[in-house]
Structure 1
């Protein structure tokens, strides 16, 4: 009798709480059930409802806690809704592995139930196991063909897997299904944008505006479409409209910052990025982009302080090394071992290894300095001054690293060392010297010619490589300038393109096995011409005359100075006057080479 009364009290409380929930009085509903739960701590239904309410207000920790209590007391066959709810909380809590376990349990207990396959598919997609996710979601669609949300999930997963054509077909089925998700038209427009189908994407965005109303995020997406196809003024108007509709969304300020940076209005971009970080102070992507503009302007102290947020930027090319040892803060490390470890690309390593002597000067008594570097750099950096040990980069097995007390990502060096302005940067060159080893002469070298080494492209895997790299075709007219001799020092995936050059261009590619070989060859050349690649940084670090060919929106390290580089005194910069205009760059380079040859001949006669 007493047990029935207690059950009645719980059920009455749940009924009242659901009424409060329907009146949008969630706090009151939670308070009511929390009070009842004090005397009914393990009641499965009560804890389930408490979990749902906490989940609705986004308070995941107590939501998960109460869901666990409910599961433990629900018997050998917990209700399907409870299992699905628990798995959904895991997905919200970025724990897809546990969500998958819940989905597998639910699928075993409730066979042929599409919702369990839907949960499993979403968990697998979050784990980036797209083939398995697609299989699970296809099962959900087959078991629940009238449920448009399963089609929507399948289409989004196909898009994530890169199967754009099939994703587009499934999105089409979803749009034509009964009760399609409200956002499906927008999602389809986003996909069409990725497929570079401008007109189709724009038409669907306009349709989505009618279906969803004038939403900030829709204008953001339309702005991205216009910017992608260089309709910059239209993009600007869309971003402004998104800001008007929702001034509390940091993404609107961020998008305007990116647009202005693309137009080289760096002061305006700086202000927009600052606003984005004020609105969303924990957003690493916003801080990272602010750092790029600060550094582009030469604001070294503020720029590198913001650059420390790079590890919280999802698109950053290196992953953070989660060492238990603390990061070095620029103080004396007497009696301790400091590991300076590699990050990003090899060009970054060449640029920032200049700080190693300053770091070595802070060893004090008994300090040890270890430098980790990429394998192709090992031979070149093996005798770097002040470094006690050089080790090859190892991100997969930290247990193989030597013992150390402190660590420093190499690009954090200027921040740790307290660099404040460009005048504080160590810019004396050369700061790299070539270790003893094999030497070789330039084959077929003409002693009277201006000997020019050249590189036309970087790693195609780099995100913006299509902007920074050029084509060997642009070099063809340069090869015919009288008094010159060209030597290809291009390595990597673009190496075969040298076949397009005339036979008189000397191929040094086969002689180059690592960066030491490249460095040796550079000492034999009169000039190096390259795009923004690791070769540019190597030539600059060696103090060799270097001409660097840059896209309009070049990387932050080249700042805004027209031709000079604060990082490399012997470098001359050639910038595109407008987006994609390599021809003007090569016209200027050709004129400069001709002038250089005339100067060399004049000196020879003197």
Structure 2
């Protein structure tokens, strides 16, 4: 909340500055951020000690993502008023969002010393170490915050997420259930509850909660004249299925078009151009429409990731017959020849996902971390990275790995390459899903707190029969994963060499 003007602090300040501050408050209340910021800046120019104006300007900067500016404003506010708890706390949040976590914790600890019983400060203090996987500290802070504000749904939600990220899915579910009971319209908590339930294999309740994504501000439901399909009889009708979210999600869930067609409907699929040729091989699709092209007529429409919920899918009823996608005979792309022994194991590598993905820093690794694998005998490595800038800058990688990025125009091209490999070794990216959908052996390297679709503890996947999962034993411990993969890969390569 913006600071208001304390009557005792208006004395001695220029009347013009006070007037500008009050104008700014009115603009801020009406969501006129630019006008409010201009007035606060002018007030500060007129009265440099106007700490309330500095704080409120920081709020506006923080809201629009100008974090450096926000930190500068909060820093000015606490210099002018060292006991300003909200400024110390908000400065900590801005520092955390910039990745400056040690400074964030310092600022938040200062706020805590000033207000040891503030649930808001303790909640913020929990979020800072959580962002750098110091979950014990985060959980302790959230639980202490709940001592002072047990009815705060947001704190229960944060605690639930921290518990889920430490592998305590059942405890996380209980905390998130408490959050949605306290605030039934809190979309973020429903979304997080979906992940906690799905991670435990509860598709029935998890997929139901997953529908809350459309009430989140970062999701927007597309507008169609035709109604949303909710499971009605499809016999003789046409259903438009439209993809959403990432390519990996689309590849995983396109399998459900066969079940839709089995209900007697004509199924249209709208997808990005990069997936169109690949998805033409999926069963049950009458027509593929590239996103942005004119849509033909249809009776109902449904987002692709809502289909399993509409079909009542359970863990034991996932359609897991593979391959359900194919490259197509017209895609003739040959693998380059590598200077390795004839009959060597052909392994595709993917070590990084989309850097814009919110969890990319936890799921991706560097090429250098894979170097222990590059010395194994009888293995030919091929990079399936769409962009291989780190491969081009890594001398060891260049010598050991063939770069296929120039041959990967779309996902059908990538599929044609994957179908020629013996194994794909990938972090949690779209290529891991592609290999599984093609029915090719794929080893997936997973972070300690993986995405819900990989479930917990198990080494296999109900989604992909040919997948094998290699999990971090502790947060950030990729070395143990690579060591285990190396041992297994060496055994497989030796066996293949003997057989060939």
Q: Which runs of 5+ in 2 are unaligned?
A: 1-15
Aligned ranges 1:358-377 → 2 under 5 Å: 358-363=259-264, 367-377=265-275
Tell me, yes or no, if structure 1 residue 273 matches structure 2 residue 166. no
Paired residue secondary structure (2:285): coil
Paired residue secondary structure (2:346): strand
Could you tell me which of 196, 199, 221 is aligned with 1:320?
221
- How far 1:411 moved relative to its partner? 0.7
- How far 1:194 moved relative to its partner? 3.3
Could you tell me which of 444, 448, 458 is aligned with 1:562?
458
Aligned ranges 1:225-240 → 2 under 5 Å: 225-240=128-143
- How far 1:148 moved relative to its partner? 3.4
Aligned ranges 1:14-25 → 2 under 5 Å: none
- How far 1:171 moved relative to its partner? 1.8
Per-residue deviation, residues 551-580 of structure 1 (Å, max 9, x unmatched): 110110001143111110001111111111
Aligned residues: 482
* Aligned residue number for residue 332 of structure 1: 233
Paired residue secondary structure (1:407): strand
* Aligned residue number for residue 28 of structure 1: none
Q: Distance in 1 between matches of 2:490 and 2:440?
A: 19
Q: Distance in 2 between matches of 1:311 and 1:489?
A: 33
* Aligned residue number for residue 390 of structure 1: 288
CA contact (8 A) 1:352 1:411 kept: yes
- How far 1:469 moved relative to its partner? 0.5
- Structure 1 residues 233, 160: closer, same or farther in 2, change over 3 A? same
Q: Distance in 1 between matches of 2:82 and 2:331?
A: 73
Q: Distance in 2 between matches of 1:241 and 1:313?
A: 28
* Aligned residue number for residue 193 of structure 2: 290
CA contact (8 A) 1:148 1:180 kept: no
* Aligned residue number for residue 550 of structure 1: 446
Q: Which runs of 5+ in 1 are unaligned?
A: 1-109
CA contact (8 A) 2:327 2:413 kept: no
* Aligned residue number for residue 351 of structure 1: 252
CA contact (8 A) 1:549 1:574 kept: yes
Structure of higher CA gyration radius: 1
* Aligned residue number for residue 24 of structure 2: 118
Could you tell me which of 355, 374, 386 is aligned with 1:460?
355
- Structure 1 residues 116, 341: closer, same or farther in 2, change over 3 A? farther
- Structure 1 residues 335, 485: closer, same or farther in 2, change over 3 A? same
Q: Distance in 2 between matches of 1:522 and 1:498?
A: 24
Query: What is the Cα-based RMSD across aligned positions, in Å?
Result: 2.8
Tell me, yes or no, if structure 1 residue 478 matches structure 2 residue 373. yes
Per-residue deviation, residues 442-501 of structure 1 (Å, max 9, x unmatched): 121564111111111000010110110011112223222111111111103756556541
Could you tell me which of 208, 225, 228 is aligned with 2:111?
208
* Aligned residue number for residue 418 of structure 1: 312
Q: Distance in 1 between matches of 2:448 and 2:344?
A: 32
CA contact (8 A) 2:254 2:282 kept: no
CA contact (8 A) 1:285 1:314 kept: no
Paired residue secondary structure (2:445): strand
Q: Distance in 2 between matches of 1:497 and 1:414?
A: 41
Q: Which has the higher contact order (CA 8 A, sep 6+)?
A: 2
CA contact (8 A) 2:367 2:390 kept: no
Q: Distance in 1 between matches of 2:369 and 2:288?
A: 39
Q: Distance in 1 between matches of 2:163 and 2:197?
A: 13
- Structure 1 residues 288, 183: closer, same or farther in 2, change over 3 A? same
Q: Distance in 2 between matches of 1:443 and 1:492?
A: 18
Greater helix share, structure number: 1
- How far 1:595 moved relative to its partner? 0.6
